[in-house]
Amino acid sequence: MNIAVLGYGTVGSGVVEVFFKNKANLQKKAGQELDIKYILDLREFPDDPHAALFTKDFAQIAQDDSVKVVAEVIGGLEPAYTFTKTCLERGKSVVTSNKELVAQKGAELLEIARAHQVNYFFEASVGGGIPIIRPLHMCLAANSIDEIAGILNGTTNFILTKMIREGMPFETALALAQQLGYAERNPAADVEGQDACRKICILAALSFGEHVYPKDVYTEGITKITLEDVAYAADCGCVIKLIGRAKRGEHGGKLSAMVAPAFISHESQLGTVDDVFNGILVRGDATGDVVFYGKGAGKLPTASAVVGDIIDCAKATGTSPSLRWNPSEGGNVASREENVTRMYLRLQSDTVKLPQAVGKLFGEVHTLNRAGQAADEYACIISERPEHEIDAAIAKLEGMGVTLMGKVRVLDY
Ligand code: HSE
């Protein structure tokens, strides 16, 4: 069985490396001979040990019927979408790490795969090397999944860990994450939360059976988190993590989904997930909580998941029946304003008596302290209420001349 690899970036070169390193073993597991026949990339790699396999011509791959599995590791929507569609329509299975494409076009591409009796597998699209897609639609198939929440982006978890443990500035930690091959080509997708958003959309679609579009999911990154917020979190036994979460709608209503930084207990399962590691908590009605943990980014962990999918394509006969969800027009996610949450607030004013003003608007609160706290700064956690109420109360404070310095949801995971 011949394989083609589309894209020779961090993940693509990892796929080729893992494949040739473990080829004999992979063939045993697949029960047949396997070979990489083409590597597609527009760049030149004259000194690469696999230089003879390179082509710039996608049509050569599409038209070669001996190529049965294609690994799309280009990333982004185009040309990945057109290439994937063409391959599936020509009866080739496609495996990918491309979360952007799956989150945007997953329902459609799965349908095309089914129509041509091939597979579209994307284990590497969520959680890097952590098995999560296959466990969700196979091992946990007996459950109704009620909720799924996780630390889904290695880069931001790496940055936050460096800020929390070493007081490292944001930019230094980001540069380090880029050097280590964790970050997206445009790291704004990591730090602004879009990468985690794509991943929670995929997990939500798989868990709740309907396509969820990233545009419908409120997404907030970590760029506004400061070392002061980190210190206040520590005062209540919490750490700040970027959490992606999705919950089944009650009584058939809209589902709730969001990506945002959150205070979570440093002793909780997700609170102990540090560095580039990801943690994903799945709440099933039969299993209760199941937690998946491992390296969520990086060349070889991600390549491991892609190559695993290649082996599964070689072993599979026909399309996997359980990997599917229904298309959607969008608009199936409740708005941020309806979200009910506890909230950490950091406020500053040299004229308003903040504890009194906050008490009047929010009732009883949990006051927080930090070393070096300025006299005109006040931080607290307010009790649970809908976000539209919190927004309105903050607007009142701002009307009185109070500055909002920080606002982070407080979660129970
Ligand atoms: N940039 C991503 C991350 C890579 O940091 O998690 C894996 O999807």
Burial class (CB in 10 A: 0-12, 13-18, 19+), 94: buried
Owner of token pair 């994307």 = 122
CA distance 126 to 194: 13
Q: Which pLDDT value is given to residue 316? A: 85
Q: What is the mean pLDDT of residues 199-217?
A: 97
For the chain, the average pLDDT equals 96
The region of weakest confidence among 87-101, 148-162, 248-262, 358-372 is 248-262
The region of weakest confidence among 26-30, 32-36, 123-127, 163-167 is 163-167
Contact indicator for 244, 214 with CB cutoff of 8 Å: no
Q: How far is the CA of 144 from the centre of ligand 1 (A)?
A: 28
Contact indicator for 279, 154 with CB cutoff of 8 Å: no
Which tokens hold the place of 211?
């396509």
CA distance 86 to 70: 11
Question: Does 252 score more than 80 pLDDT?
Answer: no
The amino acid sitting at 410 is: V
The amino acid sitting at 318 is: G
Q: Which of 125, 155, 201 to mutate to test the pocket of ligand 1 (most atoms within 8 A of CB)?
A: 155
Tell me the CA distances in angstroms from 23 to 34, 171, 188, 313, one per residue in order: 8, 40, 36, 15
Peptide bond into 79 cis (omega under 30): yes
pTM of the model as a whole: 0.97
Q: What is the mean pLDDT of residues 159-173?
A: 93
DSSP-derived letter for residue 375 is: T
Bridge partners, 345 (sequence order): 380, 407
Give residue-wise pLDDT tens across range 34-92: 999 999 999 999 999 999 999 999 999 999 999 999 999 999 999 999 999 999 999 99
Contact indicator for 15, 5 with CB cutoff of 8 Å: yes
Closest residue CA from atom 4 of ligand 1? 297
Catalytic residue check, 299: no
Catalytic residue, chosen from 92, 105, 199, 407, is 199
Name, in order, each residue with C-beta under 8 angstroms of 175's C-beta and a sequence gap of 6 or more: none
> Quick one: pLDDT band at residue 251, thresholds 50, 70, 90?
confident
Give residue-wise pLDDT tens across range 136-147: 999 999 999 999
Ligand 1 atom having least distance to the Cα of 158: 5
Q: Which pLDDT value is given to residue 259? A: 98
DSSP string, 9-67: SHHHHHHHHHHHHTHHHHHHHHTS--EEEEEE-SS--TTSTTGGGEES-HHHHHT-TTE
Q: How far is the CA of 329 from the centre of ligand 1 (A)?
A: 27
Q: How far is the CA of 196 from the centre of ligand 1 (A)?
A: 8
User: Phi and psi for 327 in degrees, rounded to 5?
Assistant: -70, 165
Question: Does 318 score more than 90 pLDDT?
Answer: no
Count other C-beta atoms under 10 Å from residue 79's C-beta: 15
3-state SS class at 135: helix
Closest residue CA from atom 8 of ligand 1? 297
